[in-house]
Amino acid sequence: MRAVVVGGSAGGMEALIAILSPLPAGYPLPVVVAHHLHRTDEGRFAEHLGRKISMRVAEAGDKMRAEPGRVHVAPANYHLLVERDGSLSLTVDPRVSFARPSIDVLFESAARAWGEGLAGVILSGANDDGAEGMRAIREHGGLCIAQDPETAQSRPMPTAAIEAASIEIVLTPERIAELLGAMAGLDEAPDGDGAAAEEEGR
């Protein structure tokens, strides 16, 4: 794997902390996050996340490189994209699914840049932003992971992505953390039976 992208909205912060807090400061992959933010956020989301996890957290800047061991957060009022060379860029293009930053915009650009080396994670949220982005990740050979809607504060976002991209890896935030650790060689991955059992229990 080359990178991880994560998208969330209502209820997504709690899930994001549960996923990232077990990962070490030296996690060997970059993590890029698009979360629906109020236009007056002014960096508070990134600051709060940085106090809760070991990895470095920073708001993404235009032309910044996506670095291993760092969580790059899309700032309020900007779409965050991944360029072909792995650098990040910001735009003020129109809102997508009523959101800027848009999860679809991040996921679709990341899928083009990182292809089969990308893992996408969709979390709690109240609309369908991220569903088309997850479909793009699957079409480019990446790994699609969804928070189990039964554990989400708001179910529509993970549910829409599961349906749009035929996502089979549906896990609790804690199990997603285990899987991301295993992808980087830090631990054992949740086995298929465990993932299937959780999906059947939804």
- Exposure class string for 64-98: b at 16+ Cβ within 10 A, else e: bebeebbbbbbbbebbbbbeeeeebbbeeeeebbe
Reported as a pLDDT band with limits 50, 70 and 90, residue 189 is low
Q: Which of 35, 36, 72, 79 is catalytic?
A: 36
> What confidence score (pLDDT) does residue 198 get?
43
Give the integer Cα–Cα distance in Å for 202 and 200. 6
Q: Is the pTM of this model over 0.75?
A: yes
CATH assignment at residue 16: 3.40.50.180
Q: How many residues can be counted in the chain?
A: 202
User: Whose structure tokens read 């959780």?
Assistant: 198
pLDDT of residue 43: 93
Which pLDDT score, from 0 to 100, does residue 15 have?
98
199 pLDDT exceeds 50? no
Helix residue ranges per DSSP H, the chain: 12-20, 44-52, 103-114, 131-139, 156-165, 173-183, 192-200
Tens of pLDDT, residues 22-58: 999 999 999 999 999 988 999 999 999 999 999 999 9
> Could you confirm whether 193 is annotated as catalytic?
no
CA distance 50 to 94: 29
Q: How far, in Å, CA of 68 to CA of 75, rounded?
A: 19
Q: What average pLDDT does the segment 168-197 reach? A: 77
Separation between Cα atoms, residue 174 and residue 128, nearest integer Å: 23
Overall domain count for the chain: 1
Q: Is residue 129 annotated as a catalytic residue, yes or no?
A: yes
Per-residue pLDDT of 122-158, as tens digits, reads 999 999 999 999 999 999 999 999 999 999 999 999 9
Residues spanned by the domain of 21: 3-200
Selecting among 35, 97, 104, 129, the annotated active-site residue is 129
Based on the residue annotation, tell me whether 36 is a catalytic residue of this protein. yes
Q: Give the active site residue among 9, 97, 124, 154.
A: 9
Q: How far apart are CA 197 and CA 97, in angstroms?
A: 32
